[in-house]
Amino acid sequence: MLDLRALDSRAERSFLEGGLGKTRYDASSPVISLGQAVLRGEFDVTDTISTSMELSSDDRQHNAIDVREAWLAWNPVPSSAWKTRVKGGFFFPPTSVEIDYEGIGWTPKRTISSAAINSWIGEELRTKGFEWSTLRLGRYADATYDVGLLAAVFTGNDPTGTLLAWRGWSISDRIAGHSEALQLADLPVYRPDGAIPRQSRTIHPFREIDGRPGYYVGMRLNRQQDLVLTALHYDNRADPRIVKSGQYAWRTRFDHVSALWRPAPDWEILMQAMHGDTLMGANAVALDFKSWYLLASHPAGAGVLSVRFDRFSTSGHDILPADRNDETGYALALAYSMPLSDTFTLLLESLTVQSQRSSRQLIGEPIQQTGRTLMASLRWSF
């Protein structure tokens, strides 16, 4: 997939430019850019074992080419109504109803940007381990619904929570690769003379720091084709006292629920909600975070019209009052997706993000910001 962008942004300095803006693009961004380029290869090793790898690149990626996913899955032939899969490697946890898991690149199909929850997952969360899942198919058990369970154990993801604490939520579509290095804003707290000088300004989100595995467990309910409900509990079990090579381990936990509802022909209603907390050091940084969104989608003319509303917030309660990490905000996205051919899709999006974050004044930015961006995306998939 090749994704080209054209845009007009009236947003404050982006988090990719060392600012505390909420969007990928800002007023200094080029009018034309490469949103992403993704190459995926799939191979059936046997009738029950398959493997997949995705390589990616974009205009701001740390390496020219990086690994977005790489996994091996075993799907044994079911002997009952239960269908089981074991998956190992480096891959996204099954947390999103907004993302097209059947498509390429873990990319939303109705909009250009992702909701705040999925923007964070795309940058700072990945499963590097093993996931077991099972699904009871209702049609084989005389039921009108399918029910599934899953559990995973993983390494890495110890720095998860760093971005939420010192950068906050974002509304973006940028996805980090395996060896990604993300740059934080130049806040006083992790400068050489700051309160946490051992913390690097550069974050490597998928590193293992303390040697302790994390886990998540979840469940899923499908009612025919009109309702999908999921729930997930995540805990990286990181030891917040450990720091290596400028990277602290952050103890990050959250609960997540999502729903996809088709109340009538051609209508789709999507919802996701997340609530969690993260801790670093001996209560040096302690943060509660939460976010939710609603998205409605309906065909319009030759394409599909979608509208999404996000709410997000963080709340700090640690021992460093000068390191203020509280924020509140909302976002509104209006998007139109239209297939041009079997290989080309055009997406248009108007995005508005309003937020308040007190730490912005520490780097000379206004506490309250309202960013507006008009985007066009031409995706070529083959």
What is the domain-level CATH number for residue 103? 2.40.160.10
CA angle, residues 136, 137, 141, in degrees to nearest 5: 90
Three-state secondary structure call for residue 103: coil
Range of 84's domain?
2-380
User: Residue 140 has what pLDDT?
Assistant: 81
Phi/psi at 355 (nearest 5 deg)?
Answer: -150, 155
pLDDT for res 55: 97
Dihedrals φ, ψ of 362, to 5°?
A: -70, -20
pLDDT at 130: 98
Which pTM value belongs to this model?
Answer: 0.95
Q: 265: which 2 tokens?
A: 């022909």
Q: What is the DSSP string of 200-249?
A: -SEE-TT---SS--EEEEEEEEEETTTEEEEEEEEE----TT-EETTEE-
What does the pLDDT read at residue 126? 95
The pLDDT value recorded for residue 330 is 98
Residues of the chain under the 70 pLDDT cut? none
DSSP β-bridge partners for residue 127: 91
Count of the separate structural domains present in the chain: 1
Would you state the pLDDT for residue 62?
A: 77
